[in-house]
């Protein structure tokens, strides 16, 4: 049994169609969605999104923040960014890790520090997805 999945990023419709399963990073950790999942809305955090389309290999992507809504076997995922491994520039991701680490060492406000942590987490996640 499948559900209908919409994955929409700020710059494109990433995927729309049938899906067997979805695993996504949320504030509470990784959650899995399958057909007939209970209705819910929750925040998505930078990390990974994995989804299985019928008769195709499982896809693993790097994602930014956003939200997910599950309602009546229809799943909507809204994200600021999503990238497949082949879309990730490894050199740029490594440079982003170095920049974020440098930002963390600078004297700054709490808000700037948290933003630097977010940049570091996103860059490290992109490298992790790229290496799959």
pLDDT at 28: 87
For domain 3-83, the CATH architecture is Sandwich (2.60)
CATH class of 88-130: mainly alpha
Per-residue model confidence as pLDDT tens digits over 89-119: 889 888 988 888 888 888 678 888 888 888 8
* 129 phi and psi angles, rounded to 5 deg: -65, -40
Question: Where along the chain do the CATH 2.60.15.10 domains lie?
Answer: 3-83
> Hey, what are 56's tokens?
């195709």
Question: Where along the chain do the CATH 1.20.5 domains lie?
Answer: 88-130
Q: What is the 3-state secondary structure (H, E, C) of 46-97?
A: EEEEEEECCCCCCEEEEECCEEEEEECCEEEEEECCEECHHHCCHHHHHHHH
CB 51 within 8 Å of CB 19: yes
* In the block, residue with structure tokens 């050199």: 91
Q: How far apart (Å, rounded) are the C-alpha atoms in residues 32 and 49? A: 10
Per-residue model confidence as pLDDT tens digits over 63-75: 999 999 999 999 9
């Amino acid at each position: 049994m499948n559900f209908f999945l919409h994955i929409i990023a700020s710059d494109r419709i990433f995927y729309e169609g049938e899906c067997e399963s979805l695993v996504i990073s949320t504030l509470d950790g990784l959650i899995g969605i399958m057909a007939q999942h209970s209705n819910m809305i929750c925040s998505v955090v930078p990390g990974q999104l994995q989804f299985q389309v019928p008769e195709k290999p499982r896809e693993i992507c790097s994602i930014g923040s956003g939200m997910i809504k599950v309602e009546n076997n229809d799943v909507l995922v809204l994200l600021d960014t999503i990238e497949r491994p082949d879309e990730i520039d490894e050199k740029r991701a490594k440079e982003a890790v170095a920049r974020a680490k440098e930002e963390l060492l600078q004297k700054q406000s709490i808000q700037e520090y948290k933003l630097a942590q977010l940049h570091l987490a996103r860059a490290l996640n992109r490298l992790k997805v790229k290496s799959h």
